Structure 1
Amino acid sequence: MDVRSFVKKQEAALKKYRRLYKVLDFLGTAIILYLLLFYFRIDQVFPYISSFEVRAGTSYDILGASIAFETVALSLIAAFFSLIITVIRHLRDDKTKAIPLIEEQNPELHEKLRTAYDNSDENNLIVADLLSSVSSKIAVIASSALLTKRKLVIGVVLILLSGITTVYIIDNDIRTNLFDQGQLGDLVNNIPGLGNGDSSSGNDVYVFDDSGNEDSSSSGTENLTGDTAIIVQDGKEVDLTIPAGSGVGFEEGDTSEESDTDFDQSSPYERSIISAQTYDEELPEGYESIIKEYFEALAEAD
């Protein structure tokens, strides 16, 4: 067997195994972090965060399955922190090359394998004899010999146990009783620039009770000309923003109630006075007598 080809093959296998350890560690840590986030009700905080309040309660259609926004958000948060933890944990990993590990596992190759590898391009009787001796011994060495089975077993078991536990807790909605959603919301609202109860941002949440009155526990002032204002009515968020030019205070098609009162409207002036004034007006020539008779008849009818 060619020594250089053997060493390159073992180096590639060693890198693959080390990546596998990191992936298993990342998945196990992410599942545990998701479990902790769900147990401590972090998904119930999203309606109180200005960046997430609009998406809270929605769902996404992924591969034909409806997945809640809270599930996706918790998964991303868990994956982000799991990546950081995994990178930190593996910063000091053993980065020993394949040759020293193989020589450690096979004492008969100690110093011989690296010597043969370094001098594989030489062409003399001593090197040829060394290469022949080393090749016969490495022919029976498999790449799986570099796999640390203990790390592999621990990683798989950790993923299985944490996954089963997470499914059970989510299915039964097991959560901590140390605090509730309202307490978490108050905590988030006290963080400047994060909670949607920050009055300076204009994104206030107004909670109304069943009778339609504003809950006294809610805080902030309504800002209809600023950013979006939200109220929570029966657990649902309602946007109170009035678009510019929409006619504040009026509804389209709003008409006043018609009166059914039937009455005859009186004249603003007495007809006798109106008739009397016509005699002073300049009448068309030839029609004076006819017009005078008309007004006299009209006055007599009163």
Structure 2
Amino acid sequence: MALEIENIVNKHESVLKKYRGLYVFADLLAAFLVLYALFVLLNMRDIFLMFSTFEPYTGAKYSILGAEIAFETLGLVTLAFIFSLILTAVRFYRADKKDAISFLEEKYPILRERMRTAYDNRDTDNIIVRDLIGGVVIDSKPVKSSVFLNRKKLAKDLLVTVFAVALLAYVAQTGYQTTFSPYDMNEVIETITLPGSGSDLVSVEEDGGTSGDPQNDDELFGEPAVIVVEGTEVDLKIPPGAGQGFTSQEEGEQNNESFVQSGIYNSDPTASQAYYENLPEGYRSVIQSYFEQLAEE
């Protein structure tokens, strides 16, 4: 019994691996043909002319299986195969991989949980396990290997493959190609200004000036200082490199004003009259005489 359940699971597992290989091949073929058709339509063969490494080989033809194939065609085939291989590997890696038991239990509810339990306990010898394995073997006989085949997936890959082949046949028959070329892509890349590039910075020229739009001095030094002289506002600025002090940015007439000397002022001390207001009546003359005597001493 144990050997029989193990053979059933191994047989279905082998069929499942074959179908998975078929899926990978179908995905790879469809991706390769679609990419190659796009490369031909977009004139991607011109990309080999953009690199000096391939210049000695461009235009050369090689005889393969009695057919003359240009170097550019071989290059496009190689590029399409590499990219399709990468895409197929990514899709296969991200795909949900179920084992044969999971598929069988999903397709046949009668085997759900029973088949996995019987397979995990196939080395156990008791009446319960033997009865379980016997029932699973009987219920597994109607199962066909075609249950593992994903017909929708294969139909989709087949449809894409037929479309790509028809497109390539149309291009080969009519010679139709788009006006796009890798040179157009190169021109677009050259016109793109990347952040941090020197084009958006102010560069210093040889004569000490700066390239780009001139900047206003007010933006560099802020609002100009304003002072008031005899009721007239005077605009003062500190230009770069002017040194210490203030200079007026406006030119005007110079006024030569002369100063007139005032008369001689009597330097003898005089008593202030302010204290008279707060002196009490009757003592004013006595206090005044006292302070006058202090001033004479």
TM over 0.5: yes
Counterpart position of 1:111: 113
1:25 to 27, 31, 43: 27
Question: Residue 41 of structure 1 aligns to which amino acid in structure 2?
Answer: N
Please state how far the C-alpha of 1:45 moved relative to its aligned partner: 3.1
CA distance in 1, matches of 2:180, 2:57: 26
SS at match of 2:94: coil
CA distance in 2, matches of 1:191, 1:161: 32
Are the counterparts in 2 of residues 48 and 189 from structure 1 also a CA contact under 8 Å?
no
Question: Residue 161 of structure 1 aligns to which amino acid in structure 2?
Answer: F
CA distance in 1, matches of 2:185, 2:88: 29
Please state how far the C-alpha of 1:176 moved relative to its aligned partner: 1.0
Question: Residue 170 of structure 1 aligns to which amino acid in structure 2?
Answer: A
Superposed CA deviations along residues 242-281 of structure 1, whole A, max 9, x for unmatched, are: xxxxxxxxxxxxxxxxxxxxxxxxxxxxxxxxxxxxxxxx
What is the correspondence of 1:84-233 to structure 2 with a 5 Å cutoff? 84-178=86-180, 184=182
Aligned pair count reads: 188
CA distance in 1, matches of 2:146, 2:26: 18
CA distance in 2, matches of 1:186, 1:95: 43
Matched, 1:15 2:17: yes
Are the counterparts in 2 of residues 13 and 143 from structure 1 also a CA contact under 8 Å?
yes
Contiguous gaps of at least 5 residues in structure 2: 191-297
CA distance in 2, matches of 1:59, 1:189: 30
The structure-2 alpha-carbon separation of the partners of 1:155 and 1:166, relative to structure 1 and needing over 3 Å to count, comes to same
Question: Residue 160 of structure 2 aligns to which amino acid in structure 1?
Answer: L
CA distance in 1, matches of 2:184, 2:17: 48
Question: Residue 142 of structure 1 aligns to which amino acid in structure 2?
Answer: K
- Select the structure that is richer in helix: 2
CA distance in 1, matches of 2:116, 2:33: 42
Are the counterparts in 2 of residues 57 and 68 from structure 1 also a CA contact under 8 Å?
yes
Superposed CA deviations along residues 20-73 of structure 1, whole A, max 9, x for unmatched, are: 212211111111111111111111332332121111111111111211111111
SS at match of 2:63: strand
The structure-2 alpha-carbon separation of the partners of 1:186 and 1:136, relative to structure 1 and needing over 3 Å to count, comes to closer
Question: Residue 175 of structure 1 aligns to which amino acid in structure 2?
Answer: Q
Matched, 1:82 2:107: no
Question: Residue 151 of structure 1 aligns to which amino acid in structure 2?
Answer: K
The structure-2 alpha-carbon separation of the partners of 1:186 and 1:39, relative to structure 1 and needing over 3 Å to count, comes to closer
Counterpart position of 2:223: none
CA distance in 2, matches of 1:49, 1:188: 12
Counterpart position of 1:267: none
Counterpart position of 1:47: 49
Question: Residue 32 of structure 2 aligns to which amino acid in structure 1?
Answer: A
Are the counterparts in 2 of residues 49 and 188 from structure 1 also a CA contact under 8 Å?
no
Are the counterparts in 1 of residues 32 and 80 from structure 2 also a CA contact under 8 Å?
yes
The structure-2 alpha-carbon separation of the partners of 1:29 and 1:40, relative to structure 1 and needing over 3 Å to count, comes to same
* Structure exhibiting the larger radius of gyration computed from Cα positions: 2
Counterpart position of 1:58: 60
CA distance in 1, matches of 2:159, 2:129: 47
Contiguous gaps of at least 5 residues in structure 1: 193-302
- Percent identity (aligned): 37
Please state how far the C-alpha of 1:177 moved relative to its aligned partner: 2.0
SS at match of 2:53: coil
Are the counterparts in 1 of residues 43 and 180 from structure 2 also a CA contact under 8 Å?
no
Superposed CA deviations along residues 108-142 of structure 1, whole A, max 9, x for unmatched, are: 11111011111112222222221211111112212
TM-score w.r.t. the length of structure 2 is 0.58
Please state how far the C-alpha of 1:96 moved relative to its aligned partner: 1.6
SS at match of 1:51: helix
